[in-house]
């Protein structure tokens, strides 16, 4: 809370009359599925004989504790803050793009899995042994449970391997595509186990991009039958300038004591991070994002930027897999509510006075939620302004950050209020 005060602005754009099966009444809850953001769920790892550690520490001492059958907590493990273990962590989290197969893969010998798909358990805390410092969706879930939602009955979780993303049509994306398939199955199962009532999808951050892709990749008949409403929290529809810092100089994401250069290579390898770079359609060619003595980069100069920071291997997958994906963000014609924070200092421009990307830059700030720029949070308004049959409601909450939207009292009241409204009425013009 910010001195107990927040300003809420609501904008409703482009109304359509939408009919869905299984209309609900007050107290008759539609099933709800939570889809987390980047780094928003637990991830486990296991090492096979094929794994070739780069150091003795990575081979013998990390992780310090392993679970049954060799599985251990990969994300989030607090030992990542210690430099020798930071290197081991980055080594095992790194993805590798295979040009011939045109897809991303784990480091050889590193197996990963996402625990408890379908349940909310891996979304509550990134490490259940460190609840106070790794709390994620626990406050939101508590509010939903007070509304009457029950894990495994009306409330479900869809965790995923957030390092992987999606690619444009015609390009394989095995892990990301499997997640969409699993999420689709979960939606259908949740609907079937709740008397055919269509599902409310509630995403945070990157999760919103996955949900939107799921919707537009399935036919209108499927969407009409299975989707009641889509609520997107803090969705980076047009990417985030913060990702430019991640690629150029590394980003600790608020984890103390970590050298950003130790995790920069791993962060550059992430397929989802490539997906989250600023979208040229949202951030125009005249907007300077990275400034050096020799060159100024906008979102339209991404290929040069990736080359110049020393990451040429990112150029081809960005050009072929990402640019077509972010170039056509279609309206799914299901009701959508976007809830976001605003009024927070958000990275706007990076200044590298010496042109050395290993150095930390000077930063100028603009409006946003502290992570995602306001242009990106509001992107659907501009992209879909001609979509007369797309219902889009936008809620801005002043003083709420990208992560605190999951725990701030004003934000939670807004989210729960929206869900209550959706559950209480057959959606249509009377809800506007």
Convert the pLDDT of each residue in 318-332 to its tens digit. Answer: 999 999 999 989 999
pLDDT in tens, 2-30: 444 344 445 444 433 333 343 333 348 99
Q: What is the mean pLDDT of the chain?
A: 91
Instruction: Write down the pLDDT at residue 184.
Output: 98
- Per the CB < 8 A criterion, the answer to whether 398 and 342 are in contact is yes
Percent of the chain as helix, strand, coil, to the nearest 5: 35, 20, 45
Mean pLDDT for 220-230 is 98
pLDDT in tens, 48-76: 999 998 888 887 666 655 656 789 999 99
Instruction: Write down the pLDDT at residue 252.
Output: 84
Would you state the structure tokens that stand for residue 128, as one six-digit string? 């259940």
Whether residue 402 lies in the annotated active site: yes
Instruction: Write down the pLDDT at residue 62.
Output: 60
The neighbouring-strand residues paired with 296 are 291
Instruction: Write down the pLDDT at residue 70.
Output: 87
Sign of CA dihedral 356, 358, 362, 367: positive
Sign of CA dihedral 310, 316, 321, 323: positive
Pick the catalytic residue: 87, 229, 333, 402?
402
- Distance separating alpha carbons of residues 238 and 275, to the nearest angstrom: 10
| Predicted confidence (pLDDT) at residue 360 exceeds the cutoff of 80 | yes
Contacts of 170 (CB under 8 A, 6+ apart): none
| Predicted confidence (pLDDT) at residue 314 exceeds the cutoff of 50 | yes
pLDDT in tens, 378-388: 999 999 999 99
| Predicted confidence (pLDDT) at residue 1 exceeds the cutoff of 80 | no
Q: How many other CB atoms sit within 10 Å of the CB of residue 131?
A: 12
How would you list the strands of the sheet with 43-47, edge to edge?
72-75, 43-47, 110-113
Domains and CATH numbers, the chain: 8-42+114-431 (3.40.50.1820), 43-113 (no CATH)
| Predicted confidence (pLDDT) at residue 47 exceeds the cutoff of 60 | yes
pTM of the full predicted structure? 0.93
pLDDT band at 432 (very low <50, low <70, confident <90, very high): very low
Whether residue 389 lies in the annotated active site: no
- Distance separating alpha carbons of residues 207 and 60, to the nearest angstrom: 35
| Predicted confidence (pLDDT) at residue 253 exceeds the cutoff of 80 | no
Instruction: Write down the pLDDT at residue 58.
Output: 85
Pick the catalytic residue: 308, 369, 401, 408?
369
In angstroms, the Cα distances linking 186 to 33, 34, 41, 361, 420 are 8, 11, 17, 44, 22
Instruction: Write down the pLDDT at residue 23.
Output: 37
| 3-class state of residue 26 by DSSP | coil
| Predicted confidence (pLDDT) at residue 244 exceeds the cutoff of 70 | yes
pLDDT band at 218 (very low <50, low <70, confident <90, very high): very high
Pick the catalytic residue: 205, 249, 270, 401?
205
Whether residue 376 lies in the annotated active site: no
């Amino acid at each position: 809370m910010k001195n107990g005060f927040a300003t809420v602005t609501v904008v409703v754009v482009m109304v359509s009359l939408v009919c869905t099966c299984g209309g609900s009444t007050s107290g008759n809850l539609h099933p709800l599925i939570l889809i987390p953001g980047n780094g928003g769920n637990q991830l486990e790892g296991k090492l096979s004989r094929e794994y070739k550690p780069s150091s003795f520490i990575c081979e013998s001492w990390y992780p310090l504790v392993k679970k049954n059958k060799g599985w251990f907590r990969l994300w989030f493990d607090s030992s990542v803050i210690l430099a020798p273990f930071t290197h081991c962590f980055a080594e095992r989290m790194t993805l590798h793009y295979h040009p011939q197969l045109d897809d991303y893969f784990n480091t050889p010998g590193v197996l990963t899995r996402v625990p408890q798909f379908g349940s909310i358990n891996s979304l509550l805390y990134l490490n259940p042994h460190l609840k106070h410092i790794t709390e994620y969706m626990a406050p939101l879930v508590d509010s939903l449970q007070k509304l009457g939602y029950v894990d495994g009955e009306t409330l479900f979780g869809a965790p995923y391997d957030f390092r992987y993303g999606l690619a444009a049509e015609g390009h394989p994306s095995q892990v990301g595509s499997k997640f969409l398939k699993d999420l689709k199955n979960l939606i259908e199962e949740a609907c079937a186990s709740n008397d055919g009532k269509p599902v409310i999808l509630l995403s945070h951050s990157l999760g919103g991009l996955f949900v939107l892709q799921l919707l537009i990749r399935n036919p209108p008949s499927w969407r009409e039958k299975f989707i009641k409403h889509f609520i997107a929290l803090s969705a980076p529809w047009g990417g985030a300038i913060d990702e430019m810092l991640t690629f150029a100089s590394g980003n600790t994401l608020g984890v103390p004591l970590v050298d950003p250069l130790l995790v920069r290579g791993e962060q550059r390898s992430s397929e989802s991070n490539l997906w989250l770079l600023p979208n040229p359609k949202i951030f125009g060619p005249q907007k300077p994002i990275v400034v050096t003595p020799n060159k100024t980069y906008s979102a339209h100069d991404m290929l040069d930027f990736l080359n110049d920071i020393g990451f040429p291997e990112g150029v081809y997958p960005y050009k072929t897999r990402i640019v077509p994906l972010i170039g056509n963000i279609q309206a799914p014609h299901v009701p959508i509510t976007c809830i976001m924070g605003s009024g927070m200092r958000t990275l706007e421009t990076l200044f590298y006075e010496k042109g050395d990307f290993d150095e930390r830059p000077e930063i100028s700030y603009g409006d946003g939620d502290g992570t995602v720029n306001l242009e990106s949070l509001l992107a659907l308004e501009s992209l879909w302004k001609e979509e007369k049959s797309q219902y889009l409601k936008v809620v801005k909450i002043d003083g709420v950050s990208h992560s605190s939207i999951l725990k701030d009292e004003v934000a939670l009241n807004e989210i729960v209020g929206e869900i209550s409204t959706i559950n209480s009425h057959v959606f249509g013009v009377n809800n506007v």
